[in-house]
Chains A and B, each alone.
Chain A
Amino acid sequence: MVKEVSVLIAGEAGQGIDSSGRHIGEFFNEQGLYSFVYKDYGSVIRGGHTFSVIKASENEVLAHERDVDVVIALNAESLEHFKDLKKNGILICADNCKDVKGFRTIKIPFSDIEKKFGKIFLNSACIIALLTVMNYDVNDYLKLLTKRHKENAEVSKFISDYVEKNYSGMIESKKLKTSKKGEVVYGNDAIAMGMAAAGLERYYAYPMTPATGILHYLAAHQKEFGLALQPENEISVINMALGSAYAGKISAVGTSGGGFDLMHEALSFAGTAEIPLLVINSQRSSSSTGLPTYSGQADLLSSIYAGHGEFPKIVVAPSTTEEAYELSAEALKLAWKFQIQSILLSDKNLSESAKTTKFSKVDRIKLNFAKGAQRYKFSKDGISPLIIPGVKDVTSKITSYEHDEFGYSSEDGPMAMQMQEKRAKKRDAIIAEMKKLETVKTYGNGKIAVIAWGSAVNPFREALKYSKDLKIIQPVYLEPFPTEKIIKELKTAKAVFVPEYNSTGQLSEILKREGIWKDDFVQMLKCDGRPFNPKQAAIGVIK
């Protein structure tokens, strides 16, 4: 029997739900468990309902379940989450909350504590009660807190003693504890760390949920890697990055759907001018401003086909923090190797969830700059020597126009054809390179195949815990699409499901384009911004 616990903490925005989720996740991680932290919040800073779900287990956790063992309710509205409690679950709240029948309830004497000790944080008080019931030493929790969140040790002891005295029957006899497995890392931080490890030198971004965390992380770590700057808009963002990349610096930009749309023209320019760039598009839900703080996968086709005209690009979609780290590094490396644009598709579920993570090592990009003036010299694989300005006897001319080998604008018909063929050849070279890369991953060996990409992979990998009949097939690279590998993996499938977080089935469209799709394939589309629930996912594909 796997030992695990799920905790839901809910309140209104401004009550510290986000930091509480992180702290609980980090606490369990310190105890050697695998943590997973999911946060559900609206596009607000104060007011509005918000909650986080923390799942900790002896096994790796990739997604949370909606039914939980403990609900911490920081306000009256949050008590409604008792509906998420498993049988025999525990509800923790302040002593002024109304009774919810049928559950074990721990009421914190909040007003008494404040009278005795002055103002305290209800979220921390409830977490201390939780950890006391779980038989942990609350001092281990206090050690994790930053100064801003630090609770008085005396108050903690008072709460701990109170719980031990009044709820002694509920205290677990044994605590879950083992050796530490890694660090709790958020998806956005993993993307940032992966790029930095690969040698990122310049990062530009305009704030946009759910990609903003990447900018925050890199801005705080500029001394270690280079510059992270916030220009006036996404158009400026990508054009600055192209200026930096032209001048030889490894550059990237990050945004979400609307900002990504603003970048499309420059993406086409980068494709034509062959300026290497990594673009991160962390998807939100729906179209337009949509559901800014919820997750979606509706930008798959617009990413693959981003930008006017035709130019080769790479689209890659990590599902976990480990993949986010490795693939952001790999996508950056490929951008420079082929002088193309890589698009890394994240989403809110990946970007803003955290899990116990252990990174593998990634290679640092090594750049070799050439001499001369033929920035677009023809070659067998379409890749020209990289020449940059600022080097003696070098003239580096790039242009948004169609051009000749020297970068002079050209409207000559044969030259236009040759130059477009040159760029198309790079796509063939990329396809050859991809044979060496892990472009498709599989999990499980059942007869029911689930083809999923990005964060949609995770609930189905979790569902493997409920059913051995499943086989998850994950196209990690979506452009160029790893068609042959997918077909090979589907050979033993008796049924095929294609779950996605959008309303039209964009991966299905690609499967159709590639001739993989069969009439009996079943789409599972979810576009409410919330992730699949692993148990329901399992039931959905098994029945």
Chain B
Amino acid sequence: MTFETKIKTSWCPGCGNFAILNAAKEVFSELVKEGMKKENIVVVSGIGCHGKISDYLDLNSFYALHGRGIPAMTGIKLANAKLMPIGFFGDGDAYAEGIEHLIHAAKRNSDITVLIHNNGVFALTTGQVTPVSKKGQTDHSTPFGNPEEPINPLALMLEAGATFVARTFAGNPAHLKKMIKEAIKHKGFAIVDILQPCVTYNNTFAEYSAKTYEMKGTDESKAKEKGKIPIGIFRKINKPVYEDTVKEIIE
């Protein structure tokens, strides 16, 4: 299965989004082979460069409003438990506009998968800082340097109660694919923060290539590590999922 559509990609050559799209296609292909029904996959995306992935995948898709894809995913899951909502969101989308939804979806352990295309910049709007941009980063809206400290989204997700928390790097295709697959297979709220260079507005490829390393095992404390950047799974636990809990009332 190729999941190709008639729509031509419009990402910049060398964009990290290609790696995420390719890894996702491979994972979907494997999952379908392993028995997942294609018609039950629902791709949900936000607005930003990442969001175009909805148009590039021959699958059910819900191309949501900026920041609002996460509640839509919970709504989809609450409507039909067989559906597998898989969300692709930018760091602007999920960590700025829609951060309340992210926190609450993690808190309620909604059975959805959230993949963050984290490139540290609003790219589709030609370069502005996001909540994960470094202090001092200069962009069109911060010509004198970003005045704010970045948040640590993974520490935030751990605190909010996410049951699967991972980080990967778009420049490490094998690891990327593994993390996406693990996240989709996890029952409960799964988030993967995908470090993704933006070749045009925030090219972090060299930095991430030098600093990332693959963690051994699962270690929550590594989520706050400074300097080197651990990639891998920080938490993977089982807890009752929201959609099952609320449906128990009526079934």
Whole-angstrom distance between the Cβ of B243 and the nearest chain A Cβ: 9
* Nearest-neighbor residue (CB-CB) of A403 within chain B: B63
User: In residues 175-232 of chain A, which contact B (Cβ within 8 Å)?
Assistant: 201-202, 204, 222-223, 226-227, 229, 231-232
Contact digits for B71-110, partner A, Cβ 8 Å, 1 yes 0 no: 1111111111011010000000000000011001000000
Asked whether B75 lies within 8 Å of A244 as measured between CB atoms, the reply is yes
* Nearest-neighbor residue (CB-CB) of B249 within chain A: A222
Instruction: Take A266-B65, A408-B6 as given contacts and tell me if A202 and B79 are in contact as well, using a CB distance cutoff of 8 Å.
Output: yes
Instruction: Take A248-B80, A389-B39 as given contacts and tell me if A395 and B60 are in contact as well, using a CB distance cutoff of 8 Å.
Output: yes
User: In residues 374-394 of chain A, which contact B (Cβ within 8 Å)?
Assistant: 389-394
Task: Pull 13 A–B residue pairs with CB atoms less than 8 Å apart, ordered by A.
Answer: A233-B100, A235-B71, A235-B101, A236-B101, A239-B65, A239-B69, A240-B74, A245-B75, A265-B65, A266-B65, A392-B37, A398-B63, A409-B52
Report the bound CA distance from A251 to B80 in whole Å.
Answer: 13
Residue A127 interfacial (CB < 8 Å): no
Asked whether B60 lies within 8 Å of A235 as measured between CB atoms, the reply is no
Asked whether A400 lies within 8 Å of B47 as measured between CB atoms, the reply is yes
Residue A445 interfacial (CB < 8 Å): no
Report the bound CA distance from A239 to B74 in whole Å.
Answer: 9
* Nearest-neighbor residue (CB-CB) of A270 within chain B: B65
Residue A241 interfacial (CB < 8 Å): yes
Asked whether B62 lies within 8 Å of A231 as measured between CB atoms, the reply is no
Instruction: Name the residue in A240, A399, A407 with the highest tally of chain B Cβ atoms < 10 Å from its Cβ.
Output: A240
Instruction: Take A202-B75, A240-B71 as given contacts and tell me if A399 and B63 are in contact as well, using a CB distance cutoff of 8 Å.
Output: yes
Partner of B83, one of A251, A389, A398: A389
Contact digits for B11-39, partner A, Cβ 8 Å, 1 yes 0 no: 00000000000000000000000000101
Report the bound CA distance from A393 to B73 in whole Å.
Answer: 21
Asked whether A243 lies within 8 Å of B72 as measured between CB atoms, the reply is yes
Whole-angstrom distance between the Cβ of A430 and the nearest chain B Cβ: 25
Whole-angstrom distance between the Cβ of A280 and the nearest chain B Cβ: 17
Asked whether A239 lies within 8 Å of B60 as measured between CB atoms, the reply is no
* Nearest-neighbor residue (CB-CB) of A229 within chain B: B246
Chain B residues with CB under 8 A of A266 = 65, 68
Chain B residues with CB under 8 A of A401 = 63
Residue B64 interfacial (CB < 8 Å): yes
Instruction: Take A236-B100, A244-B78, A248-B80 as given contacts and tell me if A397 and B54 are in contact as well, using a CB distance cutoff of 8 Å.
Output: yes
Report the bound CA distance from A398 to B82 in whole Å.
Answer: 19
Contact digits for A263-290, partner B, Cβ 8 Å, 1 yes 0 no: 0011001000000000000000000000
Report the bound CA distance from A241 to B71 in whole Å.
Answer: 8
Contact digits for B215-251, partner A, Cβ 8 Å, 1 yes 0 no: 0000000000000000000000000000000110110
Report the bound CA distance from A237 to B78 in whole Å.
Answer: 13
User: In residues 399-458 of chain A, which contact B (Cβ within 8 Å)?
Assistant: 399-401, 407-409
Residue A153 interfacial (CB < 8 Å): no
Residue B152 interfacial (CB < 8 Å): no
Chain A residues with CB under 8 A of B77 = 243
Instruction: Take A227-B246, A247-B80, A400-B47 as given contacts and tell me if A390 and B75 are in contact as well, using a CB distance cutoff of 8 Å.
Output: no
Chain A residues with CB under 8 A of B78 = 202, 227, 229, 240, 243-244, 249
Whole-angstrom distance between the Cβ of A480 and the nearest chain B Cβ: 26
Chain A residues with CB under 8 A of B200 = none
Partner of B61, one of A247, A391, A397: A397
Report the bound CA distance from A248 to B81 in whole Å.
Answer: 12
Residue A246 interfacial (CB < 8 Å): yes
Asked whether A242 lies within 8 Å of B5 as measured between CB atoms, the reply is no
Contact digits for A329-362, partner B, Cβ 8 Å, 1 yes 0 no: 0000000000000000000000000000000000
Asked whether B40 lies within 8 Å of A389 as measured between CB atoms, the reply is yes
Asked whether A243 lies within 8 Å of B75 as measured between CB atoms, the reply is yes
Chain A residues with CB under 8 A of B132 = none
Instruction: Take A246-B62, A399-B61, A408-B6 as given contacts and tell me if A241 and B39 are in contact as well, using a CB distance cutoff of 8 Å.
Output: no
Instruction: Take A223-B249, A393-B39, A408-B6 as given contacts and tell me if A240 and B72 are in contact as well, using a CB distance cutoff of 8 Å.
Output: yes
Report the bound CA distance from A295 to B137 in whole Å.
Answer: 50
Residue A52 interfacial (CB < 8 Å): no
Residue B58 interfacial (CB < 8 Å): yes
Asked whether A241 lies within 8 Å of B75 as measured between CB atoms, the reply is yes
* Nearest-neighbor residue (CB-CB) of A268 within chain B: B65
Chain A residues with CB under 8 A of B6 = 408
Chain B residues with CB under 8 A of A202 = 75, 78-79
Known contacts A244-B79, A395-B39, then 15 further A-B pairs from the complex at CB < 8 Å, ordered by chain A residue? A223-B249, A226-B250, A232-B101, A236-B100, A240-B74, A240-B78, A243-B73, A243-B85, A244-B78, A247-B83, A249-B80, A269-B68, A390-B60, A396-B60, A408-B7
